[in-house]
Structures are given as structure tokens and as C-alpha cells.
Amino acid sequence: MAASTELSSLEIVRETVGAVVATPGRPPAPARRASGSELPATTLEAVAVEWSGADRRLALLNDPRSEAAAAYRVLGHRLAGRVGVVAVTSAERAAGKTSCALNLSLALSECGRGRVLLVEANLRRPALAALLSVLPPRCFSEELLRHRVQPAAPWLAARLSEHLHLLAVDRLTFKPPRVLDGPALEQGLGQLAQLVPEQYDQLVIDTPPVLGHADVNLIQSHADGVVLVARRGRTRRADLRRALEQLGRDKILGVALVVA
């Protein structure tokens, strides 16, 4: 893979599997996301919660002057004001997409730069709550089911800071479904996307991996763009190629290569 810029712990990759998926500098113009105009208007309330930023993968919190933290700020700068709803995914598990989504959200909201809502849409193996040692006020999977029958009900999020809110799965009560409730997820994400840009500047969606199921195909229809995360030394070029073929290239903003 040829990288467009060397960022030590994180790189924005220009070429992968022989095709350009993102150019250096600003990402391509985002594709149009699915309209949520047919859905009822929604509201969201955020309540303060206790949480921890001690996990070493959270570069923006634990080592804010590091090259890794700077790289996430560069990624945020390229997306801010241009991509309202961004999905963060990977070809396979353990590529670092959840920590990438969280660090990106921290960078976008840093110093009040933007209002960010981070959503955990990985209902296969949720990891955000554990990464932050947080107990969300309501489990996001339960919220999805509730809003399918009560679409006008307000959402309840965790307030990590004044400018960063979180909708996460409660790891203590959550039981992975045998079959994903696609309509509930689609309706929920469609409603939450309506909150951009009036209530939030960016909506960041942490998704499941691409390969093995169609969850991300469903999710990306409600996103303006997709960041594909790869881990150096782990992600195989063949898997990246398959993920790109499954998603299509219209909404791919680029590949974030996690080095450490």
C-alpha cells in the first residue's frame, strides 16, 4: 500500500488493492445519504455519566501531543464541515475501528470545535462501553426497539463532555440477537441523521466489520461517507478488496491505516 502521508501511528492511505480510494488532502464529495424526511422528527437528551479515558488506545486523552493524536486531528480536519454523518468500519475484526471512531470523535469535538454524537451500531460485538468503562443511561439496542414502536420518543444519550455525546450498548444487559432487526436499525439511524446539522455537527457511527454480513451495507445508506480502517500487519489486501467490492466505492472516503 502506498500512503499519501506518513503519520507514524495512523496514516491516510491513498492507494489500496491497486485503486485510488482517496486523494491527499480533502476527501471526495460525499454521496447523498438516504432521506429521513418520511420519519417523525426526533429529539435527543444527554445526561452526565461516569467514564474513564484510561485505555491506552485513546491517544487524544492519554497522549495528546503524540503523533497518533496529531494524526486523528488531521483525519478530523479533513472531515469537519464536509461530512456530516460518517461510518467507521473495517474489513475484519480487531482492526482498530472502534478506537479509531472514538479518537476521531474526540478530535472533532476537541476544544469545542464541533458537536459530535458517537453511535455504537455494532450490535454483533459492541465494544465502546467497555473501552470507556461507561454504563450508558439506556442500552442503544433497546432504544432502537423502543423507537420502532414509539418513533417520537426522545433518545437518551450519555454526555461524555459538553460537545461529545454517546449512544452505546449496555455491555451488562446486552444479548446479541440471532437476527439483526434491520428495520429498527434503519429507522433509528435515519432519525438520528436528522439531528445533523441542527443539534450536532457530526454523527460518527461505529459499525460492525464488513465481511460476513450485510450490516454495514444497511448502515452506509444513512451515512455521507465511510472510513475503512485497516491494521498494519493484520489486515490482508484480499480482505480490503472484498470489503471495497461489497460496499462499493461511492461513499468510501479513504482508508485509515492503524500502525500501533
- For each of the domains in the chain, give its residue range(s) and CATH number, in order of start: 2-173+180-258 (3.40.50.300)
Looking at this protein, which amino acid is placed at residue 127? A
Residue 105 and residue 76 in contact, taking contact as beta carbons nearer than 8 Å: no
pTM passes above 0.85:
yes
d(CA 190, CA 88): 17
d(CA 134, CA 171): 9
For 128, counting Cβ atoms within 10 Å of its Cβ (0-12 exposed, 13-18 middle, 19+ buried), the class is buried
From first to last of its 260 residues, the chain has per-residue pLDDT tens of 333 322 333 444 433 332 323 333 445 555 556 555 577 788 999 999 999 999 999 999 999 999 999 999 999 999 998 999 999 999 999 899 999 999 999 999 999 999 999 999 999 899 999 999 999 999 999 999 999 999 999 999 999 999 999 999 998 888 877 668 899 999 999 999 999 999 999 999 999 999 998 999 999 999 999 999 999 888 998 999 999 999 998 899 989 988 86
From the list 143, 142, 136, 145, the residue with the least C-alpha distance to 170 is 136
d(CA 75, CA 174): 32
